Amino acid sequence: MLGRGGCRALLPAVLSVVLRNQPIGFAARRSLISEVLRRRMSPTLPKPSGLYTIMADPWQECMDFAVILARQAGEMIREALKHEVDVMIKSSPADLVTETDQKVENMIFSSIKKKYPCHCFIGEESVAAGEKTVFTDKPTWIIDPIDGTTNFVHRFPFVAVSIGFVVNKEMEFGIVYSCVEDKMYTGRRGKGAFCNGQKLQVSQQEDITKSLLVTELGSSRKPETLRIILSNMEKLCSIPIHGIRSVGTAAVNMCLVATGGADAYYEMGIHCWDMAGAGIIVTEAGGVLMDVTGEPFDLMSRRIIAANSIALAERIAKEIEIIPLQRDDES
């Protein structure tokens, strides 16, 4: 067993590993060092064998910070709802953006960049302003400042802040704050999904004839796109199923699957920022993500089935006609 002097001598090497491989904050580094010392000095605790065994969750500090930012964003949105909303049009008359969308995204990104300057960022309003969607293996924050902008404009009470965090192109954690409802949904890889601290679990209903689905009409008003969307809804309803619901925000729709309130959600034409926060909440609640073709889920594909089971997702995929879409990482 190492003495105290030996433990202190170990610290520079540990710090070197952390700083080289894990772009994490000071508090996380301090926690790592404390854990090394504790295990080295204890005659009973297992000795550290590597970075990931001595530090259970290198991204917990990032997740805690994301929750704080989501609450701050929610306060900004609730305050803005008290006033008149200036609306601008993006890709179609149903694809809206407001000054609040832009202010919220700027607040979130500037806060993250100050704390984690080596991380990457993808945001809905930044892309709308002309930035490219660059998706790499680096730690990446994917933000939708207001998921449900049309709801926000009309004061329809389902408006969410969505924050996804991806490393090596895998979702590590997700935050969805439905701020009018004051519901904070969180999911962390390997640690479960929660809403206001209560653990989430998807439903067990695999019989599509007894299922409740959620989807959206989307923002495109092209006749062919609308035809496919409505045709898909008709085919599913004719199976038959119990029904189809829409609340106007992809992130909240997916969280409803995580709660067990809906059995599955599907949509085409959304973006990575609509899915990155809620996707891991669904999977950590026991659900699955799948491409609408039945192939593995692809965050950049702009389409998704989020369901309580593989069986239900595959059954939905059998009925769906595909809408041709440009990928997010090709825009």
**Given 105, 144, 172, 328, which residue is catalytic?**
144
Q: Are 277 and 284 in contact (CB under 8 A)?
A: no
**CA nearest neighbour of 316 among 307, 328, 325, 303:** 307
- The amino acid at 3: G
**Given 108, 146, 208, 241, which residue is catalytic?**
146
| 44 among known catalytic residues | no
**Given 149, 186, 225, 249, which residue is catalytic?**
149
How does 246-277 read in b/e, with b if 16+ C-beta sit within 10 Å? ebbbbbbbbbbbbbbebbbbbbbbbbbbbbbb
| 147 among known catalytic residues | yes
| 295 among known catalytic residues | no
Peptide bond into 223 cis (omega under 30): no
| 122 among known catalytic residues | no
| 146 among known catalytic residues | yes
**Given 216, 267, 274, 328, which residue is catalytic?**
274
**Given 101, 105, 124, 328, which residue is catalytic?**
124
| 163 among known catalytic residues | no
**Given 105, 125, 147, 319, which residue is catalytic?**
147
Residues near 324 by beta carbon (within 8 Å), at least 6 away in sequence = none
Query: Which residues are the active-site residues?
Result: 124, 144, 146-147, 149, 274
